[in-house]
Amino acid sequence: MTLLAFILVAYLMGSISFGLLASWIFQLPDPRTYGSKNPGATNVLRSGKKAAAVLTLLGDAGKGWLAVALAQYFAPVWRLGDGAIAVVAMAVFLGHLFPIFLRFKGGKGVATALGVLFAFNPWVGLLAIATWLMVAVIWRVSSLSALAAAVFAPFYTLYFLGWGVNTLVVLIMSLLLIWRHKSNIANLMAGKEARIGKSGVP
C-alpha cells in the first residue's frame, strides 16, 4: 500500500506541466497551440521568453529529481528497496509523458528524465548534459541532441551504477524518449528538422 502511494504521488508530480505554468505566469500563449505543440522547454522558447523556457526546464527536471530524491529518503523508513525507488522514477517520467491533467498528452520527457538521472547519480546527469551540449554545438538541432543523450544515458548509468533496476529504468526511459521523438527522427532523415534558434518543429 505504501509503494502504491509513492507511485501515485510520483505520477501526479510528473503530470504537472511546468510549460503551461510558465506560460500562464508570463502571460504567454498555450505552448500546445504553436510550434511543435509540445509543452516542453524547447517549444516554450519559441514564445520568445527565455525566462519561461528556463522555468519550464528547471521545473520539469526538478520534479523528476524531487520524486526520486523523496523516494530515496523515505524508502529506508518504509523498508522499501531499490526496486521501489526505480518504480517511482518510472512513475514520475510516465506522468510527464501521459499527464492526467492534460488528458494524457504530455511532453517528450527529456528534462524530467534528466532530473531522474541526477537523482540516480549526478555524474550520469552531467554526462547526459555534456552529450546534449556537444551535439547541440556541432549540429544545432535540439531533437538530435536529446536523441544522442538518450542513446548514451544507459551506458553512463551502467558505468557508474552497474547493471541493476536503475539502469533498467534508464534504458526504458531512453527507449520511450526515442519513441516520443519519432516525428523528429522522420524530419531529421528528410532534412527538415529545425535548428536551434530558428522556427520549426523541434
The amino acid occupying position 17 is S
Check whether 1 has a pLDDT greater than 70. Answer: no
Query: Per-residue pLDDT tens for 98-116?
Result: 999 999 999 999 999 999 9
Q: What is the pLDDT of residues 140-151, one digit of tens each?
A: 899 999 999 999
Instruction: State what percent of residues in the chain have pLDDT above 90.
Output: 82
Q: 66 is in which domain, residue-wise? A: 2-190
Helix residue ranges, H only, the chain: 2-15, 18-25, 41-44, 50-74, 82-97, 110-120, 122-139, 142-161, 165-180, 182-190
Which of 176, 71, 165 is closest to 113 using CA atoms? Answer: 176
The answer to the question of residue 141 being in a domain is: yes
Global pTM exceeds 0.75: yes
Answer yes or no: is pLDDT of 44 > 50.
yes
Tally of domains in the chain: 1
C-alpha to C-alpha distance for 68 and 106, rounded to whole angstroms: 20
Q: Residue 85 falls within a domain, yes or no? A: yes
For 23, counting Cβ atoms within 10 Å of its Cβ (0-12 exposed, 13-18 middle, 19+ buried), the class is buried
**Per-residue model confidence as pLDDT tens digits over 124-167:** 999 999 999 999 999 989 999 999 999 999 999 999 999 999 99
As a whole number of angstroms, the distance between CA 68 and CA 91 comes to 10
Residue 7 lies in a domain: yes
* 201 domain-assigned: no
